[in-house]
């Protein structure tokens, strides 16, 4: 049996050493090479002091090297933490300090930003530069050990690395927007990740003939399916080149050229394909499976996509990063009205239920909060036991064995066939282009600005992107603030997808009778 | 309004510096914005919207491909061609 995530690669490399594991642009790597180079990286990491459970940052643009890094880190018995390559250095330095990352795998084009992260008080023992060395990429600090690509590629590879780790150890930490104004780290163990991977492998029947896309960035949990289910199947993962999503035409060509059989992304990317990808003139006959997750897929666009790719199966997958995928729905017929397709039923390896405000299981027509329990659940949030206690609760009444249950905060209803339908959120978390965003995190950044007296951030529904973020600001002194200043202030502290697109200044914020900001009035 | 190609690239660069980059990073006009980690696809979508506004041209998503739109040089060439065909 597979005990650890890296065993998936080791086994596939033994059985299919010459098959291609990963493709990126014109480069590719076979299973044998991926296994070998990740061994070398693991050896280098261990030689330089990496121990079981150490967190190691991956600060790389999407590339074959980022997949080598993931397996190298796992084989060293450590925990990988993927860092958003275009996030501002202030935010990344916070994440690095938060989970005390002391080893970073990166490439030369990131060195200027790493220098800035040191200015933010980041500490680092060792930096592995997998990129080409250039004269301007000397070590950012003398006290930091600098390891080159050459050192990795000349390290021993054919030895048995057996770090003493268990499958209940952490495999990765994925940081997501946090309502307290700081990103929070979701901790996932080998065991819980494998529970999801094994389910998905069975459910979607991947074989070594498949060519699966990798569209999501690595800090986004959709990538877990792309990487590990593909590698378990000895199939080929084709990474979508960075930036391609802005060019629906190029994205459609990518699917055609790479002969993708399994596609997985957020709906907003697929909507761009429907609207601007010129799919009528593309040969997408290779596609057998289109999976989407992360946000609601507006029915009119989904209907059109299905008519354009009639031979493929379409699945709506649902699950917060905290639970991996927990419900799924095969789209066989579209609802006749413009209602969204259901998020479906529980995956067979876990249990889900929804209860209303009076603690009753919901019936068709009523609305309740969705709870999940089972082996795919996270271990908690890094370093924030109080947040973990709020999210992971015991619900003896409805869970069979007094199991730990995750409160999703998602409101759902149920149809006559037992399929859940997503209705909305209980809090201020929103999705924009599939990214999960806590509006309070943006508000708390705005409150740091000395000239902001009061602020409220709301989501304005948008058909192509899900939501547009709008900030309404009451300035302290009315004439010195501008929306450029606010955008720039946010850009230095938040990832681009969280920077408000609309900024409005007002003299006061509308309040409800209880004195809370009336967000509904701000959306209009 | 002066819209020579160098002027166009200057304006695009200014936009990227103020709206996409959180810090000062030097980059060349012939460098791939994606390879250099300057912007991601979201930044590119914002840049396209800016170009439409600033130069009053229409960037039809079905007409541009990543290979002819990934450097400042290529983008300003396309914009300047559109402007002269007006």
End-to-end CA, chain B: 15
Cβ of A241 and B43 within 8 Å?
no
Query: What is residue A139's predicted lDDT score, i.e. its pLDDT?
Result: 61
The helix or strand, by DSSP H or E, that contains position A126, with its residue range, turns out to be strand A126-129
ipTM for the whole complex: 0.85
* A-B contacts at Cβ under 8 angstroms: 91
The residue of A65, A86, A272, A491 whose CB has the most chain B CBs within 10 angstroms, and thus the best one to mutate to test that interface, is A86
CB A226 within 8 A of CB A67: no
Nearest CA in chain A to B59: A247
Q: Write down the pLDDT at residue A1.
A: 54
Strands (E), A39-114: 55-59, 79-82, 103-106
Whole-angstrom distance, CA of residue A395 vs CA of residue A405: 7
pLDDT at A422: 95
- Residue A27 half-sphere exposure, CB side, CA atoms within 13 Å? 12
Specify whether the CB–CB gap between A421 and A345 falls below 8 A.
no
Closest chain A C-alpha to B36 CA, distance in angstroms: 6
When the pLDDT of each residue in chain A is averaged and rounded to a whole number, the result is 92
pLDDT in tens, A244-254: 988 999 999 99
pLDDT band at A396 (very low <50, low <70, confident <90, very high): low
Asked if A250's CB is within 8 angstroms of B35's CB, the reply is: no
Report the pLDDT value the prediction gives residue B2, as an integer from 0 to 100.
61
Q: Do A86 and B40 touch (CB under 8 A)?
A: yes
Question: Which residue matches tokens 């339908």?
Answer: A421
- Asked if A490 contacts A442 with a C-beta cutoff of 8 angstroms, the reply is yes
| Tens-digit pLDDT profile for residues A200-217 | 999 999 999 999 999 999
Q: What is the pLDDT of residues A358-380, one digit of tens each?
A: 888 999 989 999 999 999 999 99
Q: Give me the count of residues in chain B.
A: 86
Task: Tell which A residues from 147 to 166 touch B, by Cβ distance under 8 Å.
Answer: none
User: Is A219 an 8 Å CB contact of chain B?
Assistant: no
Distance, in angstroms, between A118 CA and closest chain B CA? 14
Q: pLDDT confidence of A135, banded at 50, 70, 90?
A: low
Given this model, what pLDDT does residue B82 score?
86
- Measured distance CA(A463)–CA(A392) in Å, rounded: 33
Q: Is B75 exposed, middle or buried (0-12, 13-18, 19+ CB in 10 A)?
A: buried
The predicted structure's pLDDT at residue A2: 61
Please, which residues 8-37 of chain B have a Cβ atom closer than 8 Å to chain A? 18-23, 25, 33-37
Q: Which residues in A196-208 are b (16+ Cβ under 10 Å) and which e? A: bbbbbbebbebee
CA distances from A252 to A143, A223, A244 (A): 47, 20, 10
Using alpha carbons, select from A423, A414, A377 the residue that is nearest to residue A399. A377
Is the Cβ of A131 closer than 8 Å to some Cβ of chain B?
no
CA distance A109 to chain B (A): 6
A462 and chain B in contact, CB less than 8 A: no
B19, B22, B61: residue with CB nearest A248: B61
Interface contact B37-A61, CB threshold 8 A: yes
Bridge-partner residues for A405, per DSSP? A393
* Nearest Cβ partner for A243 among B18, B23, B34: B34
Query: Hey, is the C-beta of A282 within 8 angstroms of any chain B C-beta?
Result: no
Answer whether residue A478 shows pLDDT above 80.
no
- Pairwise CB contact (< 8 Å): A244 & B41: yes
Q: Checking phi first, is residue A413 left (phi over 0); if not, alpha (psi -120 to 50) or beta?
A: beta
Q: Is the dihedral of CA A411, A222, A59, A76 positive or negative?
A: positive
Residue of B nearest to A215 (CA): B41
Contact assignment for A113 to B23 by CB distance below 8 Å: yes
């Amino acid at each position: 049996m597979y005990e650890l995530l890296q065993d998936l690669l080791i086994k596939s490399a033994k059985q299919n050493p010459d098959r291609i594991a990963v493709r990126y642009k014109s480069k590719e790597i076979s299973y044998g090479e991926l296994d070998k180079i990740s061994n070398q990286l693991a050896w280098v990491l261990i030689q330089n002091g990496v121990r079981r459970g150490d967190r190691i940052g991956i600060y790389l643009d999407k590339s074959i090297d980022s997949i080598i890094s993931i397996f190298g880190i796992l084989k060293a018995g450590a925990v990988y933490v993927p860092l958003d390559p275009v996030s501002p250095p202030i935010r990344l330095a916070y994440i690095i300090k938060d989970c005390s990352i002391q080893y970073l795998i990166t490439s030369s084009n990131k060195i200027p930003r790493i220098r800035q992260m040191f200015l933010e008080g980041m500490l680092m023992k060792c930096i592995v530069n997998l990129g080409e060395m250039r004269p301007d990429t000397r070590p950012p600090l003398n006290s930091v050990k600098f390891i080159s690509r050459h050192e990795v590629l000349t390290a021993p590879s054919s030895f048995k690395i057996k770090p003493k780790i268990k499958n209940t150890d952490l495999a990765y930490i994925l940081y997501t927007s946090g309502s307290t104004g700081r990103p929070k780290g979701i901790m996932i163990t080998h065991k819980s990740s494998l529970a999801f991977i094994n389910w998905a492998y069975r459910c979607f029947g991947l074989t070594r003939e498949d060519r699966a896309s990798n569209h999501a960035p690595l800090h986004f949990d959709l990538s877990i399916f792309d990487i590990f289910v593909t590698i378990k199947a000895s199939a080929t993962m084709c990474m979508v080149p960075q930036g391609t999503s802005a060019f629906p035409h190029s994205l459609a060509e990518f699917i055609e050229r790479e002969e993708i059989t399994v596609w997985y992304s957020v709906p907003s990317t697929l909507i761009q394909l429907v609207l601007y990808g010129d799919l009528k003139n593309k040969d997408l006959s290779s596609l057998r499976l289109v999976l989407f997750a992360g946000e609601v897929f507006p029915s009119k666009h989904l209907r059109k996509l299905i008519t354009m790719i009639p031979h493929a199966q379409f699945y709506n997958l649902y699950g917060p990063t905290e639970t991996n995928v927990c419900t799924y729905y095969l789209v066989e017929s579209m609802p006749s009205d413009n209602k969204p397709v259901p998020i479906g039923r529980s995956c067979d390896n876990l249990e889900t239920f929804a209860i209303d405000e009076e603690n009753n299981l919901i019936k068709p027509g009523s609305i309740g909060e969705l709870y999940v329990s089972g082996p795919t659940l996270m271990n908690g949030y890094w370093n924030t036991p109080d947040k973990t206690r709020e999210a992971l609760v015991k619900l003896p009444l409805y869970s069979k064995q007094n199991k730990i249950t995750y409160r999703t905060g998602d409101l759902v209803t149920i149809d006559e066939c037992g399929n859940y339908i997503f209705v909305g959120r209980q809090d201020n978390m929103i999705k924009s282009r599939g990214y999960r965003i806590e509006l309070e995190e943006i508000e708390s950044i705005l409150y740091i600005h000395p000239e902001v007296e009061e602020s409220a951030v709301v989501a304005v529904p948008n058909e192509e992107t899900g939501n547009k973020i709008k900030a309404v600001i009451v300035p302290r002194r009315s004439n010195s603030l501008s929306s450029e200043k606010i955008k720039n202030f946010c850009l230095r502290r938040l990832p681009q997808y969280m920077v408000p697109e609309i900024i409005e200044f007002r003299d006061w914020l509308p309040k409800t009778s209880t004195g809370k900001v009336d967000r509904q009035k701000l959306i209009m | 309004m002066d819209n020579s190609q160098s002027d166009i690239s200057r304006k695009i660069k200014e936009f990227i510096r103020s709206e996409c980059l959180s810090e000062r990073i030097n980059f060349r006009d012939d460098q791939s914005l994606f390879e250099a980690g300057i912007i991601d696809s979201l930044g590119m979508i914002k840049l396209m919207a800016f170009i439409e506004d600033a130069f009053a041209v229409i960037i039809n998503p079905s007409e541009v491909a990543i290979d002819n739109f990934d450097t400042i040089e290529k983008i300003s060439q396309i914009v300047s061609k559109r402007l002269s065909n007006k």
